[in-house]
Amino acid sequence: MAGIEHIKVEPDEAGMRLDRWFKIHYPGLGFGQLQKLLRSGQVRVDGGRVKTDARVQPGQMVRVPPLDVDAKGPKSGPIAGKDLRNSGDAELLARMLLHEDDKVFVLNKPAGLAVQGGSGVARHIDKMLEAWTSKKGEKPRLVHRLDRDTSGVLVVARTRGAAQKLTAAFRERDTKKTYWSLVKGVPRKREDKISTWLVKEPTIDGDRMRIAKHGEEGADHAVSFYRVIETAAQRLSWLEMEPYTGRTHQLRVHALHIGHPIIGDPKYFIDDPNWDFPGGVQKRLHLHARHIDIPHPNGGRLKVTAPLPPHMVQTWNLLGFDQDYGGDDGE
C-alpha cells in the first residue's frame, strides 16, 4: 500500500468528473469507497473538499490517501498523449486491447497514432505489432485502417488465415462500423443517406478528398448513413455515422458535403467568421470508431465497442452528453 500521493490532472482530463478520473487511475476503487474518502476529506482537490461530480481541470492536484487497491496494474480508460510518448510498444498495445482470442485482437486506437508508416510518421501500429510476434514467428496483421487523427476500434488478425477471412469480410461489406462524431450545426434531417463520388487531389498539406464531378476520371462511389443522437444549443450535433463503403476520409468529406463538418478536422473544417469555435473544446478531430460488428474467423460474429478518447470525453462532459445514451452498438 502506497503513502499519500498528489497527482496532477493532465490536459487530456480537462472537464472530467472526479469519479471518472478515479475510475481511470484507480480501477480497483469502488464508488462507495471513493464517497467515504471524499466525505472524510481524505481525497481533496487543490487542498479543498469536493464531491464525486466535481469537474477536474488541468494542473489541479488531487490528494490520494493510501489505498488498498492496485493502481500500478494496467490502466483502464483512454490513453493520453503522454502515454503515446513514454510507453513501450508492447505496453501501449496492451493498454489498447479491447478483445483477444486465438484469431483476433481488437484495439482501441488512440487519436494521433498512425496505423501504417508514411512520410513523417515515426511510430505506427503496423510496426508496433512486431512486439506481439508469436512463438511461431507470425506477426499480427492489419486488415483495415483508421485515419491517424481518428480514434477507436481497430481489428487485427493474429494469423494468416484469419487475415484472409477478415479482409474478405471488409471487402464484401459484411461488417457494420459505427462512428461517433461531433459536427458544426444541426442537420435539417435527423437521419439520412449520403451518396456521392469522391476523388483524391494532392495539396501542399497532403492528399485531400473532394466531391467529384459527374463522370470524373479516378472517382469512387461513396455511401454513408448518419443519424443525430443529440444536439447542443443548435450549434453542435452528436452524430452516429456508418460508412457503407470504405473510401479515404469518407465520413469527414461527407460531413462537410452536407454542411456540417466534423469539429477539429484539420483538413475539412473551414473557419467561419460568423461562427465561434466552442470554448473548452479542443481543436482535435472529433471522430471515433465506436463499434464494430464483423464475422469472426471461427464462426459467429464479433461485436466490440471502444470508449471515447480523452479529448472527446472532455467535450461530452462539457456539453452534458451522456455516453451511455447512444448505446454501445449504436442500435
Q: Which residues are part of the catalytic machinery? A: 147
Locate 280 and state its grid cell: 473548452
Q: N- to C-terminal Cα distance for the chain?
A: 43
How far is Cα 319 from Cα 233, in angstroms, rounded to an integer? 9
Q: What is the 3-state secondary structure (H, E, C) of the chain?
A: CCCCEEEECCHHHCCCEHHHHHHHHCCCCCHHHHHHHHHCCCCEECCECCCCCCECCCCCEEEECCCCCCCCCCCCCCCCHHHHHHCCHHHHHHHHEEEECCCEEEEEECCCCECCCCCCCCCEHHHHHHHHCCCCCCCCEECCCCCCCCEEEEEEECCHHHHHHHHHHHHCCCCEEEEEEEEECCCCCCEEEEEEEEEEEEECCEEEEEECCCCCCCCEEEEEEEEEEEEECCCEEEEEEEECCCCCCHHHHHHHHCCCCECCCCCCCCCCCCCCCCCCCCCCCCEEEEEEEEECCCCCEEEEECCCCHHHHHHHHHHCCCCCCCCCCCC
Which cell goes with 279? 470554448
- Residue 201 sits at the vertex; the CA angle it makes with 182 and 255, to the nearest 5 degrees, is 20
